[in-house]
Structures are given as C-alpha cells and as structure tokens.
Amino acid sequence: MVALAITAAATCARAVRNVQITTGQPPSIDELWQDPGDVGSRDLFHGPGGEALMPRDTTFTFVAEDTTGYSPGFDVTDDKQIEWSVKTGPEAQSEVATSRILWAIGFHQPPTYYIEKWSLTGARTGPQPPGRFRPDLPGGEVVGDWPWHENPFVGSRPFGGLIVANLLLTNWDWKTSNNKIYQLKEPINGVSRWFVVRDLGASLGKFTYPTVLKWFRLRGFGQGTRSDVADFETQGFITRIDRDRADVTFDYRGIYGDVIDTVVPDDVRWACERLSRLTDAQWRDAFRAAGYTPDQGARFTAKIKEKIAQGLQLAAAN
C-alpha cells in the first residue's frame, strides 16, 4: 500500500506538453478550432449537423447494446441505413447542450440530436427512454484518441480557451478516450482532420472531490454531477486572477489540476468574449434542443452568463 501510494502521488502531477500526435502530418490549430465568424448567426437548435441530418423517423432498428461508460446506450440504424450511437440517461441532455455551445464558438463537434420519444425494432423492441443520437457518417472516421496533457495545441489560445469553456460548463470527465481524432474523407473548411472533445455528458452539474482522490489519481471515481441545474447554480467559476504571475485560480478540485494550471488570464478573456456573443435566442435553442424545459434552460443560461461576466470582469481588471 505504501509503494502504491508513492506511485500514485508521483503521477498526480504530470507535465503538460505540446507534442505531435500522429507522425507525418504536422498539426494545425484549425484542426481543433476555426473562427466561426458571426457567432450570433449559428443555429444552436439543429447544431453542427443542421436540420437536414436531424432524424425524422422515430423507429430505429436495433444493432447492438452499448454497456460501456456511465450511461446505457445502443447502436441503431434508421430507415436510410444511417447508423446512430444512442446514449440514454441524464448525460443525453447535457451532452447535446454542451456540444452545441462549444461548436457555436468554433470548436469542432460531431452532429448530435436529442429525441424524447422513439422505439426499437429487431432483437430489441418497444419504446425507449429519451436519448442523444450521434450519427456514424461515412465522411469522417475516428482514427484515434488524444489526451489533454499531451497534444499539438498546448500553449495556444484556443486550447486554453477550450479548458476555460469546459470548466465554465462544469465538464469534469476528461479521460483520453473521450477525445477523438476524426480523419475526414473530404476536407472541410480547408482541414482534413478534427481534434474533438466528445462525450460531454458529464457537464452542467457541479464539481466534487471524493476523499480517495487526495491520495490516488483514479478516474473511476466520479468528480462531479451531471445535468443538474440546482447543482450547476451552486458551482463557482473563478476565485482569483493574478495577471502579474499570469495565474488563474478556478473553483475546481479534481485530478486535472495540472492541465487547468496552464490557463492564463488571456485564455479566460478569449473564451468568455466568444461565449458572450451568443444571443438569448441561441441560448434558448441550445437547451431546447437538449430537451430541457424553458425554466431549466433559463436557469442554466443565467448562471452561464454570470460566469461569463465574472470572467470578463476579472480578466479586464488584472
């Protein structure tokens, strides 16, 4: 036990490095983030897949059951033979809303849709609980994972802003398997590869810190709640900014403090300025698309705006 504790303690603080993920393909910041232009014109109800891809049929054919991860799910096909990954449970709503918000400010995201009423045919039949639907499109293949600690974007403003945005939305599950590298069959906006923070369901709640994490850096212990507006309203954002030391202290306790410690005040300003450009209608659409009630959406939005205002004020004052 002593040896295990020493080993765990030694791995708790990791170096956060800018490294090349794949050989022979120099990285470009456009693979992580691209300027969306007029943020206020983005359709946050239909999201990155647009209206055309939104499922019209509510009956799907069972392919397989997905028993991995926190939330139960299925692989299904629709009447056009498009295969969809479905996630049910509380993460379905928070993932759809959070994905749309990150996409709105320029981070690559796959299409996602929230369907409240749907059913299965085939080996599994009958009505199913509400779910997040993500299509497996032929134009983009997942070819690998990428970690927060070692990737080609460490030290860049968009990467710092991505950390800030995820903290603001209380996404706490930062394991490497949640981050995907997509190889695109045809370039989109000049890039043929995307680095995506995917599987965003562990968000829109609050951060927690199980006692065991004081001694062991173990991902299996939940570090927060998900899709809980009351919890989200109690979660703080920034406790201090020291511009002289280029240091930001967040209201966060968890196993990714070493990544979060790389954030500088200008990263906070960068992320909060872009989030502040979203209109009230877009905020309503993001939460409406995820199946939240108008009251829930309004409460989430009010807290998010409070955090954005705090980030802008503190970044400007230091």
What are 250-266's pLDDT values in tens digits? 999 889 999 999 999 99
User: 196 pLDDT exceeds 50?
Assistant: yes
Query: What digits encode the pLDDT tens for the residues 59-82?
Result: 999 999 887 767 778 999 999 999
The pTM of the full predicted model, rounded to 2 decimals, is 0.92
Residue 212 half-sphere exposure, CB side, CA atoms within 13 Å?
7
Element (H, E) at 248: strand 247-250
Q: For residue 248, which phi and psi values (nearest 5 degrees)? A: -125, 130
Tokens in use for 141?
Answer: 């293949």
User: 6 pLDDT exceeds 50?
Assistant: no
Crossing angle for the helix pair 265-275 and 294-317, to the nearest 10 degrees: 140
* pLDDT for the residue 7: 42
Q: Which is more confident, 65 or 286?
A: 286
Contacting residues for 263 by C-beta, under 8 A, at least 6 apart = 160, 163, 164, 248, 250
* pLDDT for the residue 68: 72
* Mean pLDDT of the region 91-110: 98
Contact predicate 202/224, CB 8 Å: yes
* pLDDT for the residue 246: 80
* pLDDT for the residue 213: 63
* pLDDT for the residue 189: 92
Q: Which amino acid is at 262?
A: T
* Mean pLDDT of the region 19-24: 78
> 266 vs 17, 107, 200, 257, CA distance in Å?
19, 18, 24, 18
Query: What digits encode the pLDDT tens for the residues 170-188?
Result: 999 999 999 999 999 999 9
* pLDDT for the residue 266: 94
User: 49 pLDDT exceeds 80?
Assistant: yes
User: 201 pLDDT exceeds 90?
Assistant: yes
User: 51 pLDDT exceeds 80?
Assistant: yes
Q: Residues 62-72, buried b or exposed e (16+ Cβ, 10 A)?
A: bbeeeeebebb
Give pairs for 59-63: CB < 8 Å, separation 24+: 59/118, 59/119, 59/120, 59/121, 60/84, 60/86, 60/118, 60/119, 60/120, 60/121, 61/120, 61/121, 61/122, 62/120, 62/121, 62/122, 62/123, 62/124, 62/125, 63/122
User: 45 pLDDT exceeds 70?
Assistant: yes
Query: What digits encode the pLDDT tens for the residues 113-153?
Result: 999 999 999 988 999 999 999 999 878 899 999 999 999 99
* Mean pLDDT of the region 270-283: 98
User: 215 pLDDT exceeds 70?
Assistant: no
* pLDDT for the residue 138: 79
* Mean pLDDT of the region 6-16: 58
* pLDDT for the residue 8: 46
H runs (alpha helix) in the chain: 2-12, 50-53, 91-104, 157-168, 229-234, 257-260, 265-275, 280-289, 294-317
DSSP state of 229: H
Tokens in use for 84?
Answer: 């969809």
* Mean pLDDT of the region 26-46: 95
User: 216 pLDDT exceeds 90?
Assistant: no
**pLDDT class of 218 with cuts at 50, 70, 90:** low
User: 4 pLDDT exceeds 50?
Assistant: no
* pLDDT for the residue 3: 42
Of 157, 162, 285, 310, nearest to 235 (Cα)?
Answer: 310
The four Cα atoms 316, 252, 180, 200 give a dihedral, to 10 degrees, of -100
Tokens in use for 145?
Answer: 């994972």
